[in-house]
Structure 1
């Protein structure tokens, strides 16, 4: 179990680190403006991207976890959990990149997505609770 947990942790760290580095180098965080830009019809999409990414990533995550067999051992369901987690993280990472590339005015929303992504780090307890595994 620990070996499989190490693999998924490394994937998560790599995704987070890559996204953070992209925001540092491409996003020019030194000149970040923490003021909320004025929202108009032309840029409302950039406000909705994080919301849509959050809802869609959690929906896809839970849908994938339904493929897990609760009668099997936890180690046997790690592939399902890993797939579900990668799908979830990819959706969040993609939305953060879209915000970074399309509109640097809303970079604060991208940073919030990165923080949320970092909080989704895999632990054995989280895996057990998400897979509804009972020892």
Structure 2
């Protein structure tokens, strides 16, 4: 008996698991944002011009941009490396989806980190500018939702493999 994979390891379940992870990460960020907004005792204000004394004013947007770019780069690099290694060999759909899942989780983590940091900076300062940046990162993450079409495009799936996911 193979103990490495659960008995229910199917391509459909692998994609479903990735979707559940994605939803959980987004839900956690949104709930944290709501709780932070409600419980913040600081005066809430929106300032994106005169924050020269606030070091977070430079760090949060820079982190958001850098981590978004690095996340996309690492995602593409992992999938590219997999395609190079898989060239000439036949990989199962489940193996392909595991690579997609791990690459996606890295990408999501690199979006979630700056988002959570922005929410914490809002808690510390009361500046809604940081929540705006976090909201943009959450929207970006929502747009990267795993789906059959996304898996088909990124993994270059055949028609038969795509049909297994439907």
- TM-score under structure 1 normalisation? 0.85
- 1:1-135 equivalences under 5 Å are 1-28=11-38, 35-38=46-49, 39-40=51-52, 42=55, 43-68=57-82, 69=86, 71-103=90-122, 104-105=126-127, 106-135=130-159
Task: Kindly report the root-mean-square deviation, in angstroms, between the aligned alpha carbons of the 2 structures.
Answer: 2.3
State how far apart, in whole Å, the 1-side matches of 2:132 and 2:39 are.
Answer: 10
- TM-score under structure 2 normalisation? 0.71
Gaps of 5+ in 2: 1-10, 160-166
Q: Does structure 2 conserve the Cα–Cα contact (< 8 Å) formed by 1:67 and 1:80? A: no
SS of the residue 1:27 aligns to:
helix
Could you list the structure 1 runs, at least 4 aligned residues long, displaced by more than 3 angstroms after superposition.
27-33, 39-42
The CA deviation string for residues 12-59 of structure 1, in whole angstroms up to 9 with x for no partner, is: 1111101110101023399865x5521537322222222112101101
Asked which structure has the greater CA Rg, the reply is: 2
Gaps of 5+ in 1: none
SS of the residue 2:81 aligns to:
coil
- How many residue pairs end up in the alignment? 134
